[in-house]
Structure 1
């Protein structure tokens, strides 16, 4: 039998003979390993782009589960659209190269577009909010449609089917056993070595790798900004590798796209590769420059025109971003220094004392002998609350999940000026652990539990505002023990506050003592309500009122007259409002800014 491989990939007449006059387009035969490697890279990058978009949308709009669900749903729909549209495409070689180049541009550009669209605080028009929300989802569709082109195009390129990758894998697993198990539920037959199945299998494998590497390596180590440029670099390299292989002489074709088209695409690929490589080569500088620029503008947009914000430091930990900055307000004579964690303002030096006096000193004045009080501090990684507790000689058990932030607070002068090396307090024990897990495992009880925790801005903090969490807190209270937390006022966030109080009731708390701390927040010389706090009590025991004359706080002694008469109240019961639970979340508890 003669070997006819020399004509492999050439269209034949119906009779199987070629008369040399067939002018139909001839197909380029691409090495199967190259095509499958490209399939893996394509799937890896595409799903990772969508995860980046999901995280960005969560930052801007809140609701982690909602954003990720919509993103994945839109992505899958767009993949289908792209797959259908791919039937209109010819020349799989050049169109695949185009798709890779377009993805290398569209992926990073989509992330930049989401940030840009949500960074227009001064621009107002009718329907702005839904328009911004809609436009922020366009990059998901663009990347999805482009990714949908790829599997059909790559399937056309995998034509060398002498032995598929899955046939090779057949020697690596007990094929008879697998076929036997499948035969229990399906009708089995010898595999027909279909290229579509092969490409789709590698595509799914690449998607799995993309999700794992993004979650375990890229996002926690380099952040969103550098991740999206690294993915763009990988797409550009894949395009160049495919182009190089095509022109290496290892492929056979009777018809190629014009040289000018290929040269233009390769040139763009080279430019993208060089640009992205330069950016990825300096991850810290790139992430800091992009993020701090955005954050500075975003913070400035929260205040009257003329506010100037200057970054002092920017860092990322596995759990949050940490930004310190200076700001000048026209209404304030002096420059303020402030701390942002993620997208939320934590404190500025002009009111940091009033916040911690409200959190710590007010409840501590309810105890006759503060030095005998056992305190559990949940959060408080800046050690400022510990410094206030140290003034009373209380025993402090602190639990905070973010060990890197704790180390930062111990070492950096910015924080040390506020906590005065409180981490060295001899009655402090700090545990680096998730508070929910800690409360499940500890057997200790406490006279005072202080919740210095993040706001309810995303699904990631939902557990800290759940009936399960507050039930654990209640179980850890000693007789007549108290719980204190800052809260979002009902006047500003009614939906959140109603779900929060329903959660407290469900967890067994019956009474609360509400109060504000007061400061001159706008620089007009008059005191305004600042942070809002609740003291929570369980059962029918006595409810002690704070006695500010006992306070070891200069702020409280100076502003004691600003506080209203202390009055304990029953936890409100709002009709039709469901509590927030770990297993039955009520997303109204999430606060959108």
Structure 2
């Protein structure tokens, strides 16, 4: 290998990295022998910066999913834009000289731009409800700018680091080269490619470590950072890592070559150190108090977002508690609405309202009590409750003496509902009901594994707001529901109204029909939703069947709400599920994203 002229660059190669190194050598005096010869440090920095860059993009993807929905779409666009901007940054890096100084600047800029980009996405989507032509596309486009900024800056890193890594001795991959079966690997590669003795290019080594850092970033983000810290604190933790990388590199540079730096370079180095220290201190304080910071930022945003759902100046929202689980965020809050005499206490899960204390009885009366009155002997009914983690539906079922199997994926939310007073005042410790069996498991998996059949299946599940809930609105899921029904069994679910969400309703009806259901019984529950003293239609429900068509007898209801408002329910009329030309069902393997509802 020492006979290969390429090993010392003496063959006159004209690649961009060598050209930059030649220019740098002409400008700068020789560095001390110890400067950057320990390539383990340089490659360690490469790993760290790659880790941060890909994790920033994952944070942006998650934020964009929160605001715009469509997980697959958002992650695909984010990664595509990131890869494109990496290429742009790599091309632009050819214009950069002085790799030490520019690498330091890049890390400082990333330490600022990464967290600032996340906050910018939040701010852009928190603009008051002012409408103007083209607002939607403009907000969407501006929300993607941080992806490009971080991508271009990250694109500078590999070329700059490649210029800094010159000596092949004591490298990570040189060490690894003594571990893997080199002859076997070269033999396998020789089957498919023309091979030669390695030319010891530093670019290959830096790029390999860069890819390794990207892998680590994706894994650690998914398994540690996001579940532990959430989006807000995670992005500042990444900024802290970038700032620390800049400080460490600055200290390393100064210790190895301080006597060779010109006065302007030394001044620039001091400026970088000052900025890095300020960022490190600020971000360190944030990361040191993750729960308080996440709660403060998120609740403030959610308060403003909920107020933005109403005409300006008509709503006042105050957060009471904020909790995160591996599957959702739970916000409880008080709201005062213009025209409403009393303050309401409400629950939001992710971006969707679940209930307010003024209409919690009407929702559960529609979900539980109305269908339970179709049975002559409710105490003999076997019920499968999918979701219902607040245990309020269980409390209603307890009034009928029914046997209940509950399946909910979010064990942490179940525990939260058992402990918090907001829930306990409505479920009355229903989790202790002796005929309740709760299983913490994904509903689709549970239905695939169980052979038990039920007289009634109640779906108290999240709305179709993102890709994560697509399976709950799929032909496979509803096929399993139908297969788990007894001969006279029924499925009941709340649904979006066709007037507000016509596209979703068409896909949903097509999906349910394809799963084997052919009839449905629709009805509304009524409540005074606007505080004017008059009742308005609230939640919409469907009873689904592929056989029996029983009519509810509301005189049997154990719900005071249902009995009091019995005359408000529409005339019971079973209908055939409609067919829509050109509308495809939603399947797990062939998803129809039109089923997703975007507000």
- Pair 581,414 (structure 1): closer, same or farther in 2 beyond 3 Å: same
CA distance in structure 2 between the aligned counterparts of 1:23 and 1:66, rounded to whole angstroms: 48
1:13-92 pair list within 5 angstroms:
24-26=27-29, 29-31=35-37, 32-92=39-99
The unaligned stretches of length 5 or more in structure 2 are 1-7, 13-24
Which residue of 317, 328, 335 corresponds with 1:320? 328
Q: Where does residue 587 of structure 2 map in the other structure?
A: 581
> Does 2:383 correspond to 1:375?
yes
Shift of 1:420: 0.5
Q: Where does residue 336 of structure 1 map in the other structure?
A: 344
Which residue of 482, 487, 498 corresponds with 2:506? 498
- Pair 560,84 (structure 1): closer, same or farther in 2 beyond 3 Å: same
CA distance in structure 2 between the aligned counterparts of 1:478 and 1:250, rounded to whole angstroms: 80
> Does 2:532 correspond to 1:544?
no
CA distance in structure 1 between the aligned counterparts of 2:363 and 2:69, rounded to whole angstroms: 25
CA distance in structure 2 between the aligned counterparts of 1:221 and 1:166, rounded to whole angstroms: 33
CA distance in structure 1 between the aligned counterparts of 2:204 and 2:384, rounded to whole angstroms: 57
> Does 2:115 correspond to 1:147?
no
2:517 and 2:545 in contact (8 A); partners too: yes
1:78-227 pair list within 5 angstroms:
78-227=85-234
Shift of 1:249: 2.9
Superposed CA deviations along residues 146-167 of structure 1, whole A, max 9, x for unmatched, are 0000000000000122354322
CA distance in structure 2 between the aligned counterparts of 1:61 and 1:583, rounded to whole angstroms: 23
Shift of 1:255: 5.8
- Pair 193,252 (structure 1): closer, same or farther in 2 beyond 3 Å: farther
Q: Where does residue 559 of structure 1 map in the other structure?
A: 565
Shift of 1:133: 0.1
Tell me whether 323-332 or 132-141 shows the greater mean CA deviation.
323-332
Shift of 1:26: 4.4
Superposed CA deviations along residues 308-359 of structure 1, whole A, max 9, x for unmatched, are 1111110100100011011111211111000011111000000000000000
Q: Where does residue 494 of structure 2 map in the other structure?
A: 486
Superposed CA deviations along residues 390-434 of structure 1, whole A, max 9, x for unmatched, are 000000000000000001111111110010010011100000000
Task: Please state whether the residue corresponding to 2:486 is helix, strand or coil.
Answer: strand
1:503 and 1:579 in contact (8 A); partners too: yes
Shift of 1:27: 6.5
Task: Please state whether the residue corresponding to 1:258 is helix, strand or coil.
Answer: helix
Shift of 1:25: 3.6
2:299 and 2:322 in contact (8 A); partners too: yes
1:25 and 1:255 in contact (8 A); partners too: no
Shift of 1:34: 2.0
Q: Where does residue 17 of structure 1 map in the other structure?
A: none
User: What is the aligned-residue RMSD (CA, Å)?
Assistant: 1.7
Shift of 1:461: 0.5
CA distance in structure 2 between the aligned counterparts of 1:90 and 1:252, rounded to whole angstroms: 20
Q: Where does residue 282 of structure 1 map in the other structure?
A: 289
Tell me whether 388-397 or 188-197 shows the greater mean CA deviation.
188-197
Q: Where does residue 311 of structure 1 map in the other structure?
A: 319
Tell me whether 103-112 or 261-270 shows the greater mean CA deviation.
261-270
CA distance in structure 2 between the aligned counterparts of 1:27 and 1:473, rounded to whole angstroms: 74
Q: How many residues align?
A: 574
1:500-539 pair list within 5 angstroms:
500-539=508-547
1:27 and 1:254 in contact (8 A); partners too: no
Q: Where does residue 16 of structure 1 map in the other structure?
A: none
CA distance in structure 2 between the aligned counterparts of 1:64 and 1:570, rounded to whole angstroms: 33
Which residue of 262, 265, 268 corresponds with 1:258? 265
Superposed CA deviations along residues 496-524 of structure 1, whole A, max 9, x for unmatched, are 11111110011011000011000010011
- Pair 203,252 (structure 1): closer, same or farther in 2 beyond 3 Å: farther
1:101 and 1:265 in contact (8 A); partners too: yes
Superposed CA deviations along residues 366-392 of structure 1, whole A, max 9, x for unmatched, are 000000000000000000000000000
Q: Where does residue 15 of structure 1 map in the other structure?
A: none
Q: Where does residue 345 of structure 1 map in the other structure?
A: 353
Q: Where does residue 358 of structure 1 map in the other structure?
A: 366
CA distance in structure 1 between the aligned counterparts of 2:338 and 2:243, rounded to whole angstroms: 48
CA distance in structure 2 between the aligned counterparts of 1:255 and 1:34, rounded to whole angstroms: 24
CA distance in structure 2 between the aligned counterparts of 1:102 and 1:406, rounded to whole angstroms: 43
Q: Where does residue 402 of structure 1 map in the other structure?
A: 410
Q: Where does residue 308 of structure 2 map in the other structure?
A: 301
The unaligned stretches of length 5 or more in structure 1 are 1-7, 13-21
Shift of 1:306: 3.2
Task: Please state whether the residue corresponding to 1:184 is helix, strand or coil.
Answer: helix
1:439 and 1:473 in contact (8 A); partners too: yes
CA distance in structure 2 between the aligned counterparts of 1:364 and 1:77, rounded to whole angstroms: 57
Task: Please state whether the residue corresponding to 1:491 is helix, strand or coil.
Answer: coil
- Pair 119,186 (structure 1): closer, same or farther in 2 beyond 3 Å: same
Shift of 1:263: 1.1
